[in-house]
Amino acid sequence: MRTRLTVILMILLSVAGICNGQRIKDIVDIQGVRGNPLTGVGLVIGLSDTGDSTLPSQQMLTNILRDSGLVFSPTDLSGGNIAIVMVTAELGPFAREGSGIDVLVSSIGDAKSLLGGILLPTPLKGLDGQVYAISQGPISIAGWSVSGDKASMSKNHQTVARIPNGAIVERAEIARFVESVSGHRYITLNLRNVDFSTAEQIGISVNRFYPDSSLVVDAGTIRVQIPDSIDDGGIARFIDEITQPEVKVDVPAVVIVNERTGTIVVGEKVGISSVAISQGSLIIKIKEQDLVSQPTAMFSDAGSTQVTQDTMLEVSESDGVLIPVLKTVTVSDLAKALNAIGATPTDIIAIFSALKKAGALQAKLEIM
Mark which of 247, 273, 298 sits at the end of a domain.
247
Question: Are both 183 and 78 inside the same structural domain?
Answer: no
* 220 and 331 fall within a common domain: no
**Same structural domain, 117 and 43:** yes
Range of the domain at 115: 36-143+153-169
> Within a domain: residue 13?
no
Q: Do residues 40 and 163 share a domain?
A: yes
148 falls within a domain: no
Q: Is 11 part of any domain?
A: no
Measured distance CA(333)–CA(345) in Å, rounded: 17
- Are the C-beta atoms of 136 and 101 separated by less than 8 Å? no
Q: What is the CATH number of the domain that holds 183?
A: 3.90.1150
Which residue, of 134, 169, 204, is where some domain finishes? 169
Residues 324 and 340 in one domain: yes
Do residues 236 and 277 both lie within one domain? no
Q: So what's the pLDDT on residue 323?
A: 43
pLDDT tens string 209-237: 999 999 999 989 999 999 989 998 899 99
Q: How far apart are CA 205 and CA 109, in angstroms?
A: 54
Alpha carbons 157 and 155: distance in angstroms, whole number: 7
> Would residue 15 count as lying in a domain?
no
Low-confidence ranges of the chain (pLDDT < 70): 1-20, 72, 74-79, 142-156, 268, 274-343
- N- to C-terminal Cα separation, the chain: 28
In a domain, 17, yes or no: no
What is the model's pLDDT at position 251?
A: 78
What global pTM score does this model have?
A: 0.66
Pair 279, 345 in one domain: yes
Decide which of 220, 247, 274 is a domain's last residue: 247
Amino acid making up residue 113: S
In a domain, 204, yes or no: yes
What digits encode the pLDDT tens for the residues 248-272? Answer: 888 778 888 777 777 777 776 777 7
Task: Report how many domains make up the chain.
Answer: 3
pLDDT at 14: 38
Q: Judge if 259 and 353 occupy the same domain.
A: yes
Same domain for 215 and 305, yes or no, is no
Amino acid 292: pLDDT? 61
CB contact at 8 A, 37 and 125: no
Alpha carbons 89 and 138: distance in angstroms, whole number? 16
Looking at the structure, do residues 54 and 115 belong to the same domain, yes or no? yes
Question: For residue 8, what pLDDT is reported?
Answer: 39
Question: Phi and psi dihedrals of 338, rounded to 5?
Answer: -65, -40
In a domain, residue 220? The reply is yes
Both 300 and 215 in one domain: the answer is: no
Same domain, 57 and 158: yes
